[in-house]
Amino acid sequence: MNDSPTRIRIGTRGSELALVQANATQAALSAAFPEMILEQIIIKTTGDRRTDVALADVAKAEGVFDKGVFIKELELALDDGTIDIAVHSLKDLPTVLAPRYALAAVLERASIRDVLVTRDGAGFDEIPSGARVGTSSVRRAKQVEFLRPDLQVVDLRGNVPTRLKKLLDGGSHDAIMLAEAGLVRLGYLPEIPANNGPEPVCGMPGLFAQRLEENMFFPAAGQGAVGLEIRADDKPGRVIAESINHADTWLRVTAEREFLRLLDAGCHTPVGVFSSLADGELLLRARVFPETGGAPKTGEARGSNPLTVANDLFLSLQ
């Protein structure tokens, strides 16, 4: 890439949600650089191909950590120059990147909450004992087991529409858990809920969603945010990506990701952490499940510097 690039190639997975996120990135770049040629390159990742087994098993088989199964091929495309910017759901991006890559920017964050989807509109406390709750997230599974030990957690793979259809078919799941951001971005839920109760899932008659407050069901670090990854030595690419960075989102996700780094935790570690920002003050809270099992540790910290707040939260865990 020369000092004044005229073309930027945006790498993305091919799922509906990934394409929505890539389109949002392209729209932001187009507004910032109207003369620039922008091209989307769709790349199929290992995680997209291997939907037959649990994500943790895919990672082990491929010799990668965390949800590297969703970024490996995108990073290889950065390496060989096929793409200039890789667009990720930030919660899929490992906390510590290889030195040749860098997280350069984030788009404005959507909602961070998790959502419970059922066929009868039951709330989280109302699901019948023994019901099967589908998720591919270790964090969600651990919290379901902690909050409702009488429920059965069942592995659930596939993109968002596929997961919803599996629930609608009623074969293996009585409820499933998804991120609110994805459901909103794909048009299954309105951005603003009509009420505090169960809501119909748009386009999926017979399914109902309940948005779970983050202080009850802790989200993943980076949930709801879209991250732009570049080659670390690509200075022009960094300048272009940083031009569309959302400062408040960057502050929040920096604190969340630094907290995971201090824990030496990754995308498959059962950690819930979330932040809020008001009048320049950052609030960070976490729920961390020990690898040996048992009750989670919790903590809370406040301040203005994201790295300091993350460290204070780490020290506050009890």
Per-residue burial over 8-28, b if 16 or more Cβ lie within 10 Å, else e, is: bbbbbbebbbbbbbbebbbeb
Q: Which of 66, 84, 92, 174 is catalytic?
A: 92
- Count the residues in the chain: 318
Q: Is position 92 annotated as part of the catalytic site?
A: yes
Torsion of CA 86, 157, 263, 251, to 10 degrees: 40
Beta strands 101-106 and 114-118 are: unpaired
Helix (H) / strand (E) containing 303:
strand 297-303
Please spell the DSSP secondary structure of 63-111, one letter per residue: T--TTGGGTHHHHHHHHTTS-SEEEEEGGGS-SS--TTEEEEEEPPP--
Instruction: Give phi and psi for 223, each to the nearest 5.
Output: -60, 135
Q: DSSP secondary-structure letter at 293?
A: -
Which residues are part of the catalytic machinery? Answer: 92
